[in-house]
Structure 1
Amino acid sequence: MRTNKMCAVLGNIQRYNALLPLTNERPLATLPVACKYRMLDFPLSSIVNANVNTVFMIFNEGETQSVFDHIGGGKEWNLDGIHNRFFIHLYQDFLKLKAQNLEYYNELIGYLEKSKSEYTVYMSSKMLCSIDLRAVLNIHQANQNEMTVVYKKVQPDNVCATDAVLTIEENGKISEVFSAKEKGDTEDQMNLCMDIYIVQTDWLINELKAGQREGATVDLQDFLRKKIHTVKSSIYEYTGYLSNIFDIPSYYKASMDMLNSKRFNSLMYSSQKIYTKLKNEVPTYYSETSEVNNSQFATGSIVEGKVEDSVVSRGAIIEKDTEVLHSIIMPSAEIRSGASIQFAILDKNVVVDAGVKIAGTKEEPVVIPKGTHVTNHILEGQTQ
């Protein structure tokens, strides 16, 4: 009997040039959020909170190192056992099989068949949210349709041009599916498709088999979007916190949202627990010269200067007479005496020399790439 059992597919292949250079050496899925978390933690946590014990993940070639560094064996998400497991596959392998006219969805089909699950949930790592998938499953079961689509009403500035937007009738039926680029931003609110779907597993297996015979898209997310109109679909409106990450401003805004207690609590302390990689480190040290206001810190940092309205990850060093305002400081950054950082994102292992000033704007924060040693001033939204 397979009642209520779900398996999961996590898609992480979308690339956004507007997120460079932050995604030069990592996928969007491992971008840091709220000091010690990664974007991937949120869909993974939603999945394990729904008692799903197997996850099929799809990443781009060359982007898996940071994923393995973060997930390890999957212990924190209870995915390190015989029955609880995760699998990582490369999107480019699917593309190569299709180019050779071979059955490119067979690995995924095999996973779905072996899972013996009645339902499959698909999620991406682009939507920063905490969703109760059990509630979505209840709606799916009540409507007995092939697909249930999760959406949220959002402002146009929280939508990327390549996102899907839904037109929903008063009876709750989806009448149209547009790309946001086609829809434009003429409306006050849009029904953003969050690319979270629950489907019947047997139905998905049959559709994938038929799709690869017909040369359907290799991108499972796009594959499911195109099915919304062709099958009976239910809708689930998500009303919790959501940030849609697709460019530097959206990522910066989401990080700054974590300094707002209401938004932070909505994301982190709903009925859903958020799991992440554990590190046994000493607490952050605040010296007598430090001045800290409305900021978040992970463990292992040393703070001797002024930090205000900022998010600081693990192992950062902020020396005396420094000023860090409205900024995101990623792991192991070093800001030396007399430096000033405002409206900036400092990636991992960045060193800022003494007396150097970095200043962007709220709309266009300065981004300093991973491992950069900054020796000169960077001002007015310039990116080094």
Structure 2
Amino acid sequence: MNALGIIFSNIHDSNVPELTSNRTMAAIPFGGRYRLIDFVLSSMVNSGITHVGCITNRNYRSLMDHVGSGKEWDLARKNGGFVLLPPFGEIDSTSLYSTRLEALKTVLGFITRSNEEYIILADANSVFNINFNDLLKHHVAVGAEITLLYVNKPASEISGTNNAILKMDGEGIIKELAIDPRMNGRVNIYGNIVVMKRNMLVSLVSDAIAHGRKHFLNDVIGKNVSRHRVAAYEHKGYYQEISSLKRYYDANLGLLDPATRQALFGTAEIYTQIKDSAPTKYGDNAIVKNSLISDGCVIEGEVYNSVLSRGVKISRGTVVRNCILMKGTITGENVSLNAVIADKGVVIRDRRCLSGADNFPIYIPKETVV
């Protein structure tokens, strides 16, 4: 696929401040063994994209540790491959970016020096498995200059800010783009993925910067809807945007449904960093039902309807229900947990009882001792 991939790792950090205080949005753990960047990066690789740049500006150590050279995605290459684009990576970078347009400004040199004909811009705040070849084929078939991917969903399922709602004509050409309008019924929400020719993006971004513009959607896409042929492409497969802690909780526990797992993982592989952990050890009195358990865990208690990352220890007499326990979480004996999100390295002492609710899970910050 003759396209350059650009991933924005930090744009939506403010939507989930609990999980992004020590990491970027792209590095948030998901599903027990993945990070959010795995889904967009794997989709690009499975579509034949071999040159990917990831823009980041803060808290990107965990992202660097996870992706590394890109070997697990076959992106450790002499030509192209995976490139992490931190702040001040370009001569004309004068400050940390706060908007998508400013982020593109900092990497304009990288984009200009690339050789690919097309460019695909994507955020790392969503869980999906998309074939970008279909997106590009649609872009070419309808004669579009810019194509935005969208998802049709009920307005009640949309949260967070900066949501773009698309209105199209009968041919799927966008006529109006509204940011955070009043919504009801089903709406076409922009999926934070756009494709266009690389040279066109350079021209549009350079022009917007020269005129002091700040926002990519409003000032680059929105203001050009009437000047250029801007098309919409509907993604009908699995798509979950992590726009709040509640959405994160629901999306993780949603993987316990076999149909949901098939919808996400059944079309193409999702790659991640390989950990050579020992198999999970189950004690004589362990009970595990309807849960995703990663390698390296020790289960001596009871686990129901939960997602456990690598290296989690559940001690004797402990009961875990409807929880997300990240890497290295340790519980003492006779602990009761319900609707809890425990970040990495959390330690919960003996005989503690923590209970949230399905619509308001309890979050325990990284390396907290309870």
TM-score normalised per structure 2: 0.92
Between 1:17-26 and 1:252-261, the stretch displaced more is 17-26
Distance 1:92 1:144 in 2: 37
Residues 95/163 of structure 1: CA separation in 2 closer, same or farther (3 Å cut): farther
Shift of 1:222: 6.0
SS at match of 2:5: strand
In the alignment, structure 1 residue 140 sits paired with structure 2 residue 139: yes
SS at match of 1:121: strand
Between 1:187-196 and 1:308-317, the stretch displaced more is 187-196
Give the partner amino acid of 2:343: D
Describe how 1:213-252 pairs up with structure 2 within 5 A. Answer: 213-217=210-214, 224-226=220-222, 229=225, 230-252=227-249
Give the partner amino acid of 1:342: N
Distance 2:353 2:147 in 1: 50
Describe how 1:137-286 pairs up with structure 2 within 5 A. Answer: 137-159=136-158, 160-180=160-180, 183-185=181-183, 187-217=184-214, 224-226=220-222, 229=225, 230-270=227-267, 272-286=268-282
Give the partner amino acid of 2:117: E
Describe how 1:212-361 pairs up with structure 2 within 5 A. Answer: 212-217=209-214, 224-226=220-222, 229=225, 230-270=227-267, 272-361=268-357
Query: What are the superposed Cα offsets for residues 315-366 of structure 1, whole Å, 9 maximum, x if unpaired?
Result: 0000111000000000000011100000010110000111100100000000
Distance 1:52 1:16 in 2: 26
Distance 1:282 1:228 in 2: 54
| Residues 176 and 222, structure 2, Cα contact 8 Å, conserved in 1 | no
Shift of 1:108: 2.7
Give the partner amino acid of 1:296: L
Residues 192/241 of structure 1: CA separation in 2 closer, same or farther (3 Å cut): same
SS at match of 1:211: helix
Distance 1:311 1:8 in 2: 31
Distance 2:71 2:41 in 1: 12
| Residues 12 and 28, structure 1, Cα contact 8 Å, conserved in 2 | yes
Shift of 1:295: 0.1
Pick from 368, 378, 382 the counterpart of residue 364 of structure 2: 368
Shift of 1:87: 2.1
State the percentage of identical aligned residues: 27
- Which residue does 1:117 correspond to in 2? 116
Between 1:298-307 and 1:206-215, the stretch displaced more is 206-215
Give the partner amino acid of 2:173: K
Query: What are the superposed Cα offsets for residues 64-122 of structure 1, whole Å, 9 maximum, x if unpaired?
Result: 101011011110011111013222223577452999xxx98665333223321111000
SS at match of 2:177: strand
Distance 2:255 2:325 in 1: 14
Shift of 1:16: 4.5
Query: What are the superposed Cα offsets for residues 273-328 of structure 1, whole Å, 9 maximum, x if unpaired?
Result: 11100011111111111011000011100001110000000000001110000000
TM-score normalised per structure 1: 0.89
Shift of 1:173: 2.1
Aligned-residue Cα RMSD (Å) equals: 2.1
Between 1:291-300 and 1:148-157, the stretch displaced more is 148-157
Distance 1:266 1:136 in 2: 18
Distance 2:23 2:126 in 1: 17
Distance 1:106 1:252 in 2: 34
Give the partner amino acid of 1:124: D
| Residues 339 and 357, structure 1, Cα contact 8 Å, conserved in 2 | yes
Shift of 1:23: 1.4
In the alignment, structure 1 residue 50 sits paired with structure 2 residue 47: yes
- Which residue does 2:128 correspond to in 1? 129
Residues 16/115 of structure 1: CA separation in 2 closer, same or farther (3 Å cut): closer
Give the partner amino acid of 2:297: S
Aligned residue pairs total 362
